[in-house]
Each structure stands twice: as structure tokens, then as C-alpha cells.
Structure 1
Amino acid sequence: MLPARSVGVIRFRVLGPLEVVKDGGAPIRLPSGMQRIALATLLLYPNQPVGVDGLIERMWGDDTPDDPRGALHTHLTRLRRTLSTGLDGTSPIESSGGGYLVRADEDSLDLIEFRDLAARGRSDSAAEKSLLSQALALWRGPVLANVASDALHRDEVAELEEEHRHAQERWFELALRAGEGAAIISRLKAAVTASPMSERLTGQLMIALYQAGRQAEALEAYEALRVMLRDELGLEPGEGIRQAHAQVLRQDVPSLAGDQQRVAVAHVPVPAELPAKVATFTGRRPQARALLDSLRDGHTTVAAVSGPGGIGKSALALHVAHRLADVLPDGQLYLDLNGSTPDLPPLEPAEALRRLLRSLGVAPDAVSAEPGEAARLLRSLTAGRRMLFLLDNVRDVAQVRDLLPGGAGCRVLLTSRRLLADLDGAEHVQLDVFSPEESYELLGRLVGAGRLAAEPHAAAQVVQHCGGLPLAVHIAATRLVSRPAWPISVLADRLGAQHRRMNELRAGDRAIRATFTTSYQQLQTEHHGAAATRVFDLLGLFDGADLGTDTVAALAGLPAERAWQLLELLADVRLLQTHEPGRYRMHHLARLFAHERAATHGFEAPHAVRRVLHYFLATARRAVRLLNPHAEWRAAIGPTAPVHAGSQLAGPEAAREWAEAEAPNLVAVVRQAAETRDDDLTIGLATSFSYLMLDRGRWDQERQIRRVAAHVVQRWDDPPHQALARADLGAPRGHLVVALRAFTADKASLG
């Protein structure tokens, strides 16, 4: 986070309607609703960069203008002008790499002051109640009530209101301990009206009413909550408030007149095992909202977050779990099942059940060694309770099937590298890599936006080398934070060298290589795992970006059906991604790992590369013949007897489909052939590929292929072939010139 500096002459208030005032108290008017949304968004992330895409989402939602970035720039320019101060026009809003930030401190922003007071209270028990009183006094009503942004209120404002509620609950708890229940009843009633389904607030109101001798009203408060939960959610009150209700009925609630007394509702012994929130959690707003909506509203009781290692599954699950805690007051259970933990075997279901039951108060010697019996006990203990189970790092469905509670009041959130597709009734959220803007925002939060702003180009390079993998961004940031004297460009240069990138992405006990190694080692234990890991290793030898089943079959020397089975297994463990039937992609860091593994197949590597290159040669020749029999001469250039027969193509349409599907690979294939120094093969590939790319209108790719061919032919000192290469190189240039002229003419005719 950036070091804050006071802007001195402007004060911002967000803990209520948005207000901007000068030091003397004169308000600064923001005439544009869009400017208010932009400023409010920045103020909720003080001294942190907010990406352009995030601002656009909050300002326009789905109704974006034709040029949203241009419109955003216009609004921010006007906003900065409105807030500029002094002769030099200084504004608290600054550009920061991929977005904007607002400079503020506790003197200029009430949100920072609130958080500072609350934090000081947690560290000073003697003064905690007084400091919380000061913090709560800063709240002036509905947060940002004059800012019209559904996205902002749905996400950021909702989280901020949770902070307020937690501070309120703690203050009420301290007041009740001091025996001040009668004095705070009106404040508690207002809090319950604002959060009518908060069992903790209602419980505290019951204790306050009881302290004031108003037992009947305390029982009425419980009954009102019970009816609301039943009618709106179909749930019964949780165990904690039921205990408080029973205490009030028996008239055995403690007098609570002293610091050593404890509040019954606030201290019901329930598990609270969630790890701390990820302070720098970034992005994933649609996924978080989908999970919260489904689990909070009861659309589903089980949700699973899946994705490859390092994608941020646990961070998202923790973020959601903490926001669900208020509506599941009977406790939160957390268990890491070691499904993909380096050097640790996955937990067996029986051991996982023992740990969960211990958390629920069952003595270890009372837990049956028979998993089915232990699972029945778990379901009995959680029946009628409203609890959250966060089962992290799941290996497969078999590991967790016995760990699921049976009651409708519980919620289960799982994370796994695998898609747990056979988990009955579960909602699935699959995570992909970050966008460049999200990666840049995360790097800024970890390193400091000021440091990024000083070297935006180098920071963008670091982000690019991390490939949108949050774990890689975290590791890169850790390297930079641990070396504050390093320019970012130093790390960018080191990551730019592919041969050492995997070594550079390592910090402390975290390493990208270990993430892939874990999946790789687990794959080896699967049925057909040894064959699948061999295929993965060989993929590191091929330079193409988009893998077809026939291509991999040729590379590995396998029948196509067998190659497909092994590729699907690799996709199951997230070492590959499948974006359409029969085609696969690898993250570039996974490709580097595969390249390292390929070194263990040194004796096989040249043969595998030769097979796949000849596969492309034979298939491309067949496609050329089908598309244009008069271009037979192209198919005659190069090796006369390819070592692979290539794919069978049923006709011209199949030939076009193959050329279109493989187009992203063809330039890389020609370059890889050139690197083998097999010039005859390279020219043969280029001659057929160039025709296919011209046929598909991919002139730029055709030109790149011809450039490689021209370079290879120059090594031959063969004038006929040099002339052929240069003539073919001129064809795509001519097409590009014609297209450019047509575009220019159309533009002129349209004015």
C-alpha cells in the first residue's frame, strides 16, 4: 500500500452520503453522478490503485458507452480539476499505471479514521470501548446514499457495512459486560431494525432487555426473529440464540455487572476456525457474488471452486466464507484436506471426520474408526444448526462425500484443482487467470502503487511474465518487497529470460515449480498416470500454442484415441485447459515446466519433434491438394517420404477447417523446423502453409512464414529457391495493400 500523505485542504466523508468539504467547511459540489461514483470507488480503496475496468463496471455496469475508457478519462479529468488545490493545481487523484488512486489519510478521510480507531481499540483493551465509541460516531447514515451505483453498493458498500456491524456488536458486548444494558436498549433496537436477521444483535438486545427487567420484551424479540427466519428463509434460529432464549425463560442470565462477566450470546462456544481474510484480495467480483447469492439465499447448500494451482481458489473461498459468517451463527469449520499439498498425503476421510468431530466437542476416543458411523454422528451433531464448512484443497469427491452435513441449515464451500462434477446438487465456479488489469492491480496492492507508477512499463512486463496467475504475481511482489532497492526493471529482465523464469518465481516456501510438481506427482498415482505424464513431458518439446489431438498423437507416437484419453486426464488435473472438443492449451508457465520435464526424455526428443513436424507436412500437403489441384507443385517441395502420414481429410471443407484450427500454430511450426536446421523440411512446410494461410485470408501469418523461408533459403545459396521465396513473400504484401486501400476508400466515403 502507498504511504499516505494528507491533502490538507480537502476532507472526504463516505460513512454516510458522499461529502467533499474544504478545510473551512465549505462543500465542494460534484455535479456529475458519474464523477460521484468514480470518486466514491477510489475513496473506498484509499492510497490503492483501482483499475480502469473496475471503475467502468461501477460507473456504467452493463450499459457502457461506445468508448468507456475515453468517457472515464473525461470524467476523471474533470473530477481532478474540481478537486485541484493551490497554485500548482495539485489534486488528490493520481494516475497509477493501469488505473487511478486517491491520496488520503486519517485527517482527510473518515473511513481511514474509523479503521484506525477500531484497530487501536483491538490493541488496547482498557480503552477499547472509548475508541470504538469514537469510531462509531463517524457514521452519519446510509453509506454513499447519494451515489447511484448498483455494483458499488452490492460489493464494496456491503462489505463496509459489515465492518460497521462488527464494530457495533463488539461495542454492545463491552457495554453489556459492564452492566449497561438498560442504557443501550434504544441503540440495540435501531441496530436490529437495520439488520433484522442478525442473531447476534437480537441476542444482545435480549440480554439488555433482561438486564433492564423487561423479560417479556426479551422473549418477544426472540419470537420476532424466529418467525422472520422461518417465513423468509425456511430456517430455525441457531444454537447460540436458542441457548440465550432458554436462559431468559429460566431467569438464569448472569447480571453481567463487571468486566469478568461474559455475555451469553456473544460467547456461546461455537467453532470459529476460518483463517484470516486475505488482506490484498483482488478481483473475482462476479464469482464472489454468485457464491454469496447462492449460499446466502439457500439456492444451494454446497458450492465448489475449482481451477489450476495458484489461481486463487482458497483466497476467493475465504473471502466468501467471512462474508457468510453472520448468516451462519452456529460456527465455521475449516479443514485443509491436503489434496494438492507438496510432500503431504491427502487426508483420509476417516481422519478428516475425526478432526471435524473434535472441533464439535467430541472426544477423540468417542469417534468411531468406521467412517460411515462417524459420518452419521457428524450429521446428527449438525442437524438443525446453521454452520459453514470450508473444506479446502480437496483431492476428489470420494474424499469429501462423508464430510457433508445433512441439515438444510448448513452450507459447504469446497476448493479443488479438479472440477468436482459428480458432487450432487453443487454449484460450480471455475476460475481462470487474471486479466492484465487485475494482475497489475494486485501487484500494486502488494508492492505499492507509487513504485509501479515510477516504472509502469517494467511493471507491465512483470505482469505479462506472470501470465495472469495470482500466485506468480504474489511471488514476484514478494521478491520486490524483499528488495526495496531493486528497480522493477531488474526483476522484469530476469523473468524475461525463459530459461530462468521458473527459478525466479520462487520466494520463501512458495514456488511456481512446486505448484506444477504437485499436480504432476499426483497424476503419476492415477490409473494411466505414467502414460499421461509422458505425454505432458513431450508437450514441452512442441512450440505450438493450441494443441489438437492428432498433433499430440503424432508427437507421442500414439493412436489418436489413446492420445485423447491421456489429454483428458491431463485436463482433469488442470495441467491443460480444453477450450473446445479435441483441442487443448497450456499456460505458458506450465509449458516451461513441461520443457524442463522434456529434458528427461533426451533420447526420444529428436524423434518426437521429427514426427510432429512431418505430421504437419503431410497434412498440409493433403489440404493443399484438396483445395487446389493446380497447386500440386507446392506439395512436391520438401521431403519426399514424410515419417508420419498426417491426418485424413475428407474433402475441401475438412481441409479448410484443419487449416483454420491450426492457424495459431503454423508460424511456430515453421520456426521450430528452421531451428532443427532441416532446411528441406522447413521449405516444404512453408510452401504448403503459405498457400493455406492465403486461402484463409491470414496474410500477416503468411508473411511471417515466408520470412522464415526466405531466411532459410539464403543459407542455401540457391537462386531458384530464393526467387520462389521472395515471390511468395510479395503475395501477402499485395493483399495487405489492396485491403488498406479499400479500407481508406470506405472511410473517406463515410466522411
Structure 2
Amino acid sequence: MRYRVLGALELRTGEGGPPWGSAKWRTLLAVLLCHANQTVSTERLLDELWGEDRAPQSATKLVQTYVSRLRQTMGDEAGQTLITEKQGYKAQGYRLAVEAAEFDAHRFEQLVEEGRRALDREAPETAAERLREALAMWRGTPFADVPPTPAVTAEATRLEECRLQAVDARIDADLRCGRHTAVLGELEALTAEHPFREELRGRLMLALYRSGRQADALAAYRDLHRLLSEELGVEPTPPLRDLHERILNADASLMATPAPEADRPGPAARKAHRGPRQLPPASPAFTGRHGEVAVIQALMDAAGDPEPGEGGRSVVLAAIDGTGGVGKSTLAIHAAHQLADRFPDGQLYVDLYGATAGQSALDPGEVLGRFLRALGVDGSNVPSDTDEASAQFRSLAAGRRLLVILDNAASVDQVRPLIPAGPGCAALVTSREMLTTLEGATHLHLDVLPQDQAVALLERVVGAERVRAEPAEAEEITRLCGWLPLALRIAGARLAARPAWPLRTLVTKLTDARGRWTNCASGIWPSASASR
């Protein structure tokens, strides 16, 4: 059996691909593949198959019919691959048993992880080979011919991001191999398509400089600087500014060619570079929260190297709670980036969709499957039982220094199986509600920003000159935004995109009670009476 989703959905049996009938067939298979080796409840399938439309009274029987026809197509009449999970005689859900070698998405992620590990051990030729093999599996947009559902859309978005990260890693490998001229055209196209991705811009600058085009490398930086300033009111990140300075000064070390792989440092010297690195980019507009960051850093200092005789120590666990838009995720990701070098065995990240409109909270078993594959477990060896998968995850984490970010949690039950147990490990959890029964957690309640930090955030996005020219209007904008970082960033981005607007224009628009809820694309827009 072969399943392909990196393009149009394909199911290939020994007799070739099936003649697809109803779109519901494709949707059913796609949703099951989004949750491969995990049970998908009948209720969830009804939501995915009919969405906001009212499901017919016979919907449950229709699902059973679709399952039966899909089994016939797969040659699985006995239900050994598409498994019915029952409670008594009643079907509670369905699980599609999939081996990594059968599923192009799982194989893609395996190859990408192998490529990243090769980069970590300074073997760029091997990394480039693995990453090229992974990217060659793509045939187009994931699930291209499947009607959109919450699960399919979320998984397609995740896979597209994984693809872009794999392209970036492959270009990094090519640059380390000295193939700077060969990647120039691709980098120019990618930076045009993704103008705000600073990693790609930095690789373009380096490739141009190594190709003898110093002026073009400096121009690429100026283009990004102008774009960030005009669109977002922020500066490039320190690593990119440092690269610009080195290119400006014609730093000869940037031209260094990589040493042969046989001459690279051994495993002991490379220890600090191993493990998955899944942290999303930190927000360039992050402002304030000095006290909270200090508390998190102090907590993480306790997650030192595991020592013999320290078996009584437990994982370090911080739980951040607060209302929507208050900046919980931004704080956790910012702190995690600052702490990353203390956890050389890896940083794992997942958005649990605990409070995301239109998304169902992720099942812990599905998240454990992602974590285990990221840590090198073959997909076919990931247990389908959540308790077994959790035990396997804890076993792998034991003796390692691992940081786990569990963002947007719905409940303690969702989080508990995902916590590593090693004394050198740590976890950061964010949620709307305080997870009071999460054992061993230090709780941080995140409030709205103080006035001075709210104005400082607006300056980061809009530009200090504009904000300081209208200080009263700037303070009024922060009040109308309820001092919430998310609302402030959205308001600031609107101003940054309209440099001719004075701040008082936005104040007028936000004061219009009829427009206040539609001015924010996220749906989060506090009333003017929001309490600080």
C-alpha cells in the first residue's frame, strides 16, 4: 500500500490507483492520513466530512459505507489496516495503520530529520543528498484535490512550512559545500516569494558575497531593511545585522570553504548541536516582560545536566496563562530561543489548538507521534496507544537535555502525556486558563502590558519617530487596544502600512464602536473599557 499526499491525494495498491468516486471518499482518507496511526472519532469525522453544513440523519451510516468502500478499494475487507475502534458493538472511531515507508509525508519528514542531523554533525554533502531526496517527493500542494476541512487545511499548512524549512536547510548544506553560485537563482526566487524570511535573505547575501557580488549582497540587505521598516516598523534581527556588517567590512572568513567531512570534529565536539530544533521564529517586535522572562530563565537554570544520584529531581515545568492576545505564545517562544543552547538535545514545539477558532484540540497521541518521529523513531514503531507512546517518549527523554514547548493547551489531560520526565528536561506550557492540577508546575499569570511597555511595543512596530510625535494619540491607541500585545501589533501594522496616516486617524477609526470588532483580522479587539 502506498499513500501520497504531497500533491494530489493518491492511494496505490498492487493494482494501481483507485478510480475515486465521491469527494467524501477522498476527504475520509485524507482526514485519516492526517491522523495516521491515531484513532479519529466518528464525531470528528462527521465534523470533517460535513463541516458547517448540517449532517444528514444518516451521516453515521454514510461514514460506515464510505469506510466499507475504502476497505474494498484497499483490499482490506477484514479491516486490518483501516481498523474500527469499538465500544461494545458500536463503532467509536477509525484508525488507519500506516508504516512510514508507505506514506510519503512520513518518509519526507524522516529524510528531512536525517538531513538536519547530518548538518549538525558537519556532514553537508550527506545533508544535501537527504534533503534533495525529501524534496523530490513533492508533486504540488498537499492534498491538492481534497475538499478543505479543518484537519486537512491544518496539515497542509504544516507540511508546506516543513517543505520551506527543508529547502532552507538544503540551501544551507549547499552553501557549506561551496555551491554558492548554483543556489543564487533559487534564493532570489525564494526571497521574492517570502520577503520577510530573514534566514533566506541571509543565505542570499552570503551566496552573493561568495560569488564576488559584495554590492549586490549589501543591496539585498538594504531592500529587507526598507521592507521591514515600511511594512512593520522594525529592524532586521541581530544575526542579519551582524552578517551585513561583516560583508560591509569584507570579512575574509565568510569566504572560508568547508573542511572535508573526514576532517570534521567528532561526536564529542558536536554534542552541543544535535537534536530537533522546532521553535518558530521569535517575534522581532517582542517588548517588555522582563520580570516574566527572568522567572522563566531562573526556573530553567534548574534543568542542568542529569547527575548520578539526582533521581529525585523532576522535569522543570512552567505554565503561562492569560487571556487571548495577551502574548503567552510570544513570551514562551522568545524565552525558549534565549534558552535553546541550554538544551542541546533538542527543542520540540507544538500548537495544541486548545483555543483556536475552527480547530479541534490536538489529540495527545497524535502529538506524541510527531515528537517520537522527530527524535528518530520510525513511524511504524510509534505505538498507537497514547499511554505506550507517552512512556516511549519519557524513555527517550531520560538522560537528555530537552526543551518542550506546549503552546495553546486546552486542558491538563491534553498536556500531561506530553511532559518529559528526565531531570535535564524542561517544558513551557501556555493556556487560556490556569492549569491548576498540573503537577510540579510553576504558574505565571500574564496580564496586559503596562502603559510604558505598550507604547514601547507600538514604537517597535510603527517607528519611534511617529509615536513620539503624537504621544497622547499613542497612549489612546494602547487604551483602545486594551494594552493587549496582539491587538497592538495589528494596529501598529496597519499604521506601518500607511505611513501617511497620523496616529490620530487610527484613533478615530478605533473609536468608532461599529468598526472596532472588524478592524482586527484575528477577531480579538477589546472594548475601550477593558480593564488593565
The normalised TM-score by structure 2 is: 0.50
- Structure number with greater Rg is 1
Q: Point out which structure has higher relative CO (alpha carbons under 8 A, 6+ apart).
A: 2
**Which structure features the higher share of helix residues?**
1
